[in-house]
């Protein structure tokens, strides 16, 4: 079996959905309710953070520094140089 790279986004998304499923299962077994007004936004926040982490890790794997995306700094003023 060939090795493959770790996909951070898929790992976090799978773990998150498993945790949510277990949360709802445990709540139903204990006759409790889960507040969906909290679960849904937290899910989107975690997935957005995971997407950002995946994008940053992909950028570093390509060898492109994060500072390269920013505009080039303005050249030094010729009057300031000795």
What's the token pair of residue 31? 């006759």
pTM of the full structure: 0.58
Average pLDDT across each block of 10 residues of the chain; the chain has 82 residues. List them in order.
80 89 91 86 88 82 62 58 56
pLDDT at 25: 92
Give the total residue count for the chain. Answer: 82
DSSP code at position 32: -
27 vs 14, 17, 30, 38, 53, CA distance in Å?
20, 15, 5, 15, 31
- How far apart (Å, rounded) are the C-alpha atoms in residues 35 and 26? 13
């Amino acid at each position: 079996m060939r090795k493959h790279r770790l996909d951070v986004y898929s790992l976090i998304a799978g773990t998150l959905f498993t945790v949510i499923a277990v949360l709802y299962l445990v709540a139903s077994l204990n006759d409790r309710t889960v507040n969906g007004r909290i679960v849904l936004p937290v899910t989107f926040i975690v997935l957005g953070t995971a997407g950002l982490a995946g994008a940053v890790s992909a950028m570093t794997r390509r060898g492109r520094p994060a500072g390269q995306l920013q505009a080039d700094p303005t050249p030094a003023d010729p009057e300031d140089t000795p």
